[in-house]
Homo-oligomer: A and B are copies of this chain.
Amino acid sequence: MYLSKSFIPILKNNPSEAKIKSHQLMLRVGMIKQASAGIYSWLPLGFKVMKKIETIVRQEQDKIGAQEILMPTIQTSEIWKESGRYDDYGEEMLRIKDRQNREMLYGPTNEEQVTDIFRSSLKSYKSLPQLLYHIQWKFRDEIRPRFGIMRGREFYMKDAYSFDITDEDAFHSYNKFFLSYLRTFKRLSLTAIPMAADTGPIGGNLSHEFIILADTGESKIFTDKRIFDLTSEGTNLEKSSLEQMRKKYEQFYSVTDEKFNKEEFEKMVLEKNRLITKGIEVGHIFYFGDKYSKAMNAAVDLPGGKKDFVKMGSYGIGVSRLVGAIIEAKYDEKNEIMKWPLSVAPYDVAIIPMINKNDSSALEKANNIYSELNKNNIDAIIDDTDENYSSKIKKMNLIGAPYQIVIGKKSEGDLLEFKEVDGESQDLPLNKIIEIITKQKNSN
C-alpha cells in the first residue's frame, strides 16, 4: 500500500483538545475522527489495529470453549424491568422511543438480553455448562465523555456470559475466563494484573478487574508488586489447574480503590513490595449467581427432576479501549515514536525510499521489496511521497509499524538499512529481514 493512496490523514501538530497521549496520537495520525461528543469514526489505521485486537480476543474466547453469538444494540425496556435495573441505571442509559412509542434503549450491557435468550432456548442441565460471548457496540451516555475512545459513549466491547448449575461449576467457568484474559492481554504485549474489585451495578460478590499500569489511568490501585512477575504459563482448563492459578495470583494483595483497606494492606504487604499507583481497566469479570436468572425465571431441569435457576457470571473486555490502552503503554510521547506490538500493528514494516524527481530507482526498489514481503505474508506500507528524510521518518514513527526499511542514495547492492522503529539501524539482506519478522510474528 502506498501512503499517498491510503486514507491516513496525518496532522502536522498535536491536536490541542487531546489531554492524554493515546487521544493525541489517535487524532494526530488519523486513526479516528470524532463524529460527536464521545462518538468516533475509525479510519483505516485505527480500524486495522482494533480489528486485530478483536481477532485475538475472539481466538482466546474460542479456546476456552465459548461460543460466539451477536445480540442487537437496541433492546426493549421490558427485560430491564423484569430484572429491576431499568430504573436503577439512570441517565447513563440511552433511552429511545420508537415510532410506535415503545420504550427501547441502546444496550450498555447484556445480562438481561442473554438471560432472555437462555431461558427460551435451553431447559436441561444436560446442556450445561454454556459459555456465550459476543463482540458488539455498546452505548453509555457519559455525562463527561473524555480522553477520546478511552471514555467514549459508543464503544466496542466483548462481553461473555456463563451458565452453570452449581456454584462450584460456575467458579470453574469464572476461572476459565480469568485464564483467557491473562492470555489475551499477554498476546497484546500488555501486563494486565487481576485485582479484586467491586461489582457495581452488575451485582454479585466476586469480581476481578484486569488493570494495566498507566499514569493517565482512572483506577487507583494497591498491590504487592511481586504479582507482576506471575504468568499463567502451564495452566490448562482443568478445574484443579485453574484453581491453582487463581490461588497463585490471590496470594498477593491486589485491589482497586473501592476494595482498599489500609490496615490489611500494611499487614499483608512488606513496605518494599507495596505499590500504590494508577491504572487503566481493560477487563472486568463478575460472578453473580442467580441474580438475573431468578428475576427472569431462567431455570433448568436438574438430574433428580427438580428445577433450579442457573448460576451466571459475566466477563467484559473493552476492545476499542484496548487500542488506547496499548498506546498509553507503548507510545514514547517525548520522541514521538509509537511502537505497536507486532500482533496488532497496522503494518508490520514501513518502507521508506528517498525519492528524487528525476530518479525513480528507490521507489522501484521499494516496490520489489514490498512484493517480496507480501509473498511472505508481511504487510508493508511504502511512503511514496517526495518529502525529505526527516519528515518521512517522523510520519512513520507516528504510524508505528514496528520495523522500518530505509532506501537511501547509499543503498547499493543487497544490503538494506533495517531498524526497529525505536532502535539502531543495521544493514541486512532482505531474506534475513524476512526471517526476523516472520520469527517474531510466529511467536505470538
Identify the stretch in A37-45, A249-257, A280-288 within 8 Å (CB) of chain B at 4 or more residues.
A37-45
Chain B residues with CB under 8 Å of A116's CB are 35
Identify which of A119-127, A165-173, A389-397 touches chain B: A119-127
Task: Report yes or no: A76 in contact with B36, Cβ–Cβ below 8 A.
Answer: yes
A–B complex contacts, Cβ < 8 Å, 14 sampled: A7-B69, A35-B72, A35-B76, A35-B116, A36-B75, A36-B76, A39-B74, A39-B76, A40-B72, A41-B71, A41-B113, A43-B117, A48-B68, A96-B96
**A375 on the B face (CB < 8 A):** no
Additional 6 contacts, C-beta under 8 A, given A43-B69, A74-B139, A96-B106: A33-B121, A35-B113, A36-B76, A41-B72, A47-B70, A74-B153
Range for the number of chain A residues in contact with chain B: 35 or more
Q: A99–B104 contact, CB under 8 A? A: no
A273 interface residue per 8 A CB criterion: no
Contacts known (A7-B121, A35-B113, A98-B141); A44 close to B72, Cβ less than 8 A: no
Which residues in window 78-118 of A have CB below 8 A to B? 78, 91-92, 94, 96, 98-100, 102, 104, 106, 113, 116-117
Contact A41 B117 (CB under 8 A): yes
B71 touches A106 (CB 8 A): no
Bound together, the chains give a CA A75 to CA B100 distance in angstroms of 21
* Set of chain B residues within 8 Å of A127, measured between Cβ atoms: 4-5, 7
User: Of residues 35 to 63 in A, which have CB atoms within 8 Å of B's CB atoms?
Assistant: 35-37, 39-44, 47-48, 50-51
A235 in the interface, Cβ–Cβ < 8 Å?
no
Within A124-173, the residues touching B (CB, 8 Å) are: 126-127, 130, 132, 137, 139, 141, 143, 153-154
Question: CB of A203 within 8 A of chain B?
Answer: no
- The number of times this chain is found in the oligomer is 2
For A79, the closest partner residue in chain B by CB is B35
Q: Is the interface of A mostly helix, strand, loop or mixed?
A: mixed
Using CB atoms and an 8 Å cutoff, list the residues of chain A in contact with chain B: 4-7, 9, 30, 33, 35-37, 39-44, 47-48, 50-51, 67-76, 78, 91-92, 94, 96, 98-100, 102, 104, 106, 113, 116-117, 120-122, 126-127, 130, 132, 137, 139, 141, 143, 153-154
Determine how close the nearest CB of chain B comes to the CB of A103; give it in whole angstroms.
Answer: 10
- Using known A-B contacts A67-B44, A141-B98, A141-B99, determine if residue A39 contacts B72 with beta carbons closer than 8 Å: yes
Residues in B with CB closer than 8 Å to A102 are 36-37
CB of A383, distance to nearest CB on chain B (Å): 14
A363 shortest CB reach to chain B, Å: 16
Whether the Cβ atoms of A30 and B67 lie closer than 8 Å is no
Contact A30 B73 (CB under 8 A): no
Q: Do B74 and A154 have beta carbons less than 8 Å apart?
A: yes
Find out whether the CB atom of B67 lies under 8 angstroms from the CB atom of A42.
Answer: no
A4 to B76, CA, bound (A): 30
Which partner residue on chain B sits nearest A155 by CB separation?
A: B72
Q: A7-B130, A9-B122, A96-B96 are in contact. Are A72 and B117 (CB under 8 A)?
A: no
Residues of chain B contacted by A73 (CB below 8 angstroms):
73, 137, 154
Which B residue's beta carbon lies closest to that of A136?
Answer: B137
Distance of A154 Cα from B78 Cα, bound (Å): 18
Write the nearest CB–CB distance from A380 to chain B, whole angstroms: 16
Neighbouring B residues of A113 by C-beta, 8 Å: 35, 41
A50 to B98, CA, bound (A): 26
* Chain B residues, CB < 8 A from A35: 71-72, 75-76, 113, 116
